[in-house]
């Protein structure tokens, strides 16, 4: 692989293009049967760029061919994807932990939205290593996409592995777990499957919600869970919702998931977004002025993965053009993000701004978990308006309002509708707000 990388460096048009696009590529796996080179890149944006730019992809292919003298096809994946999408797991029953090196506690920025989940994860990792301490088992972390669940879960794995290398740590997604199970049944290797999972000391299963409605998988997982739990081995699970809200999940699993500690992780507030951007820029050795950091943090709110993507676009642009990054260049670079949002004429951001201003609350409070009526009511009104004025689905609206459940949105909608019927001045007020938003 290093020979291939040397070739690439010699043959790329400019050193800046090598550094920007190829330098971080890593070889994940070679599939000899299918003649595929699985290559990973750290971020989605690089993958899109390399995959969509056929001349870049052709260059990678050519360099692989030059070195190996075999006609391999490169497939570019993000590191996250490579953890879930490489097949052929069935032949490989050795518990490899499959952890991403980046996902460690040291790289995790703690803020209000994730401090509890972070503290719980660290406590589980530490107490697990101390046999005399009670540890919460399982630890169940839930929250919306891109908020750091996988990162925290793997950080526990890294921590345990680094403190005690004899511990067998296994990270899988629930899809991998399901696929391995299916393969093992088809190939009569069910025994091997069971042995693999029951030998593990620390089992990390990501996105467990996907085993709901798969009866056989739930059954198998139930037994794995019991066996590990009984012998005092640690289980960590993540999901997009709390156990009781996972539809079609068996009752006996729901109750077991609640045996230990259930923690949630919310969307980051502005300060945390700024801190995350600073830390990422620093770790890449990039000097970005504060006003640019603030600009990105104020405009990219939904999740941390997007926040990282926005930052790396800005960094890649400044590398390519060797220009200083200013707020204006950042705005140009992030134009795509805005365009896609502006096409929807009315978005929840505008709604939140107008409602927050009218009710004199802080816009970040709208998405927060605060329940005082002075905040909760404007939030419900904003959700009502979002349902009236946008095409967004209920779950999507919930997601945009601080990762709430769709039933919360329905409740808000019905309540505000009822109140408007009873209170004419409220009705007039909301109609005025909607007019202002449309304008």
Enumerate the known binding-site residues for ATP. Answer: 146, 148-150
Handedness of CA 232, 105, 298, 300 (dihedral sign): negative
Report the residue number, 143 or 378, with the smaller CB distance to Mg ion. 143
Asked whether position 305 contacts ligand ADP by CB under 6 A, the answer is yes
Asked whether position 434 contacts ligand ADP by CB under 6 A, the answer is no
Work out the end-to-end distance of the chain between its first and last CA atoms, rounded to an integer number of angstroms: 57
Contact assessment for residue 409 and residue 397, using Cβ atoms and an 8 Å cutoff = yes
- Residue 330's CB is within 10 A of a number of other CB atoms, namely 24
Q: Which two tokens stand for residue 374?
A: 């002075």
Q: Pick the stretch among 1-9, 63-71, 149-157, 377-385 that binds ligand ADP (CB under 6 A).
A: 149-157
Report the residue number, 78 or 390, with the smaller CB distance to Mg ion. 78
Q: Which residues bind Mg ion (CB under 5 A)?
A: 149-150
Binders of ligand ADP among residues 357 to 416 (CB under 6 A) are none
Closest approach of Cβ 12 to ligand ADP, in Å?
Answer: 26
Asked whether position 205 contacts ligand ADP by CB under 6 A, the answer is no
Binders of ligand ADP among residues 273 to 292 (CB under 6 A) are 276
Asked whether position 304 contacts ligand ADP by CB under 6 A, the answer is yes
Report the residue number, 103 or 128, with the smaller CB distance to ligand ADP. 103
Q: Which two tokens stand for residue 280?
A: 């990422």
| C-alpha triplet 385, 386, 392: angle, nearest 5° | 150
206: left (phi over 0), alpha (psi -120 to 50) or beta: beta
Asked whether position 267 contacts ligand ADP by CB under 6 A, the answer is no
Size of the site for ligand ADP (CB under 6 A): 17
Among positions 4, 8, 64, 147, the unique one binding ligand ADP when judged by CB under 6 A: 147
Report the residue number, 136 or 150, with the smaller CB distance to ligand ADP. 150
- Residue 273's CB is within 10 A of a number of other CB atoms, namely 24
Q: Pick the stretch among 143-151, 291-299, 352-360, 389-397 that binds ligand ADP (CB under 6 A).
A: 143-151
Q: Please list the residues that pair with 27 across neighbouring strands.
A: 39
Among positions 151, 168, 233, 273, the unique one binding ligand ADP when judged by CB under 6 A: 151
DSSP states of 223-249:
HHHHHHHHTT-EEEEEESS-GGGSTT-
Under DSSP, the state recorded for 21 is I
The residue written with tokens 């070195």 in the block is 67
- Residue 212's CB is within 10 A of a number of other CB atoms, namely 18
- List contacts with ligand ADP (CB under 6 A): 103, 107-109, 114, 143, 145-151, 276, 304-305, 308
């Amino acid at each position: 692989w290093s020979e291939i990388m040397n070739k690439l460096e010699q043959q790329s048009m400019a050193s800046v293009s090598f550094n920007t696009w190829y330098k971080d590529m890593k070889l994940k796996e070679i599939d000899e049967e299918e003649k595929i080179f699985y290559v990973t890149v750290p971020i989605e944006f690089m993958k899109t760029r390399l995959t969509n730019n056929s001349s870049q992809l052709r260059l990678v292919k050519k360099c692989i061919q030059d070195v190996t003298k075999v006609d391999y096809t490169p497939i570019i994946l993000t590191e996250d994807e490579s953890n879930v999408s490489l097949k052929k797991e069935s032949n490989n029953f050795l518990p490899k932990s499959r952890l991403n090196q980046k996902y460690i506690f040291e790289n995790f920025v703690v803020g209000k939205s994730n401090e509890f989940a972070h503290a719980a994860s660290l406590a589980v990792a530490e107490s697990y290593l101390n046999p005399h301490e009670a540890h919460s088992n399982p630890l169940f972390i839930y929250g919306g996409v891109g908020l750091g669940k996988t990162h925290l879960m793997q950080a526990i794995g890294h921590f345990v592995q680094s403190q005690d290398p004899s511990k067998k740590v296994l990270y899988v997604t629930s899809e991998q777990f399901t696929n391995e199970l299916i393969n093992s049944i088809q190939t009569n290797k069910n025994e091997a499957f069971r042995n693999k999972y029951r030998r593990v000391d620390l089992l990390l299963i990501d996105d467990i919600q996907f085993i709901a409605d798969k009866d056989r998988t739930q059954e198998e997982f139930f037994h794995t869970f019991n066996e590990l739990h009984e012998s005092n081995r640690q289980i960590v699970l993540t999901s997009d919702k709390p156990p009781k809200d996972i539809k079609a999940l068996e009752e006996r699993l729901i109750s077991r998931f609640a045996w230990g500690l259930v923690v949630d992780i919310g969307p980051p507030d502005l300060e945390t977004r700024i801190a995350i951007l600073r830390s990422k820029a620093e770790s890449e050795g990039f000097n970005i002025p504060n006003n640019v950091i603030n600009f990105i943090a104020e405009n990219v709110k939904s999740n941390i993965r997007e926040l990282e993507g926005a930052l790396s676009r800005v960094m890649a642009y400044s590398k390519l053009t060797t220009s200083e990054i200013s707020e204006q260049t950042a705005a140009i670079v992030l134009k795509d993000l805005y365009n896609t949002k502006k096409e929807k004429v009315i978005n929840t951001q505008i709604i939140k701004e107008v409602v927050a201003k009218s009710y004199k609350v802080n816009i970040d409070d709208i998405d927060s978990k605060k329940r005082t009526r002075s905040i909760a009511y404007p939030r419900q009104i904003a959700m009502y308006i979002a349902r009236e004025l946008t095409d967004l689905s209920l779950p999507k609206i919930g997601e945009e309002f601080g990762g709430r459940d769709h039933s919360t949105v329905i409740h808000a909608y019905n309540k505000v509708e009822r109140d408007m019927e009873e209170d004419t001045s409220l009705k007039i007020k909301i109609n005025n707000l909607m007019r202002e938003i449309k304008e």
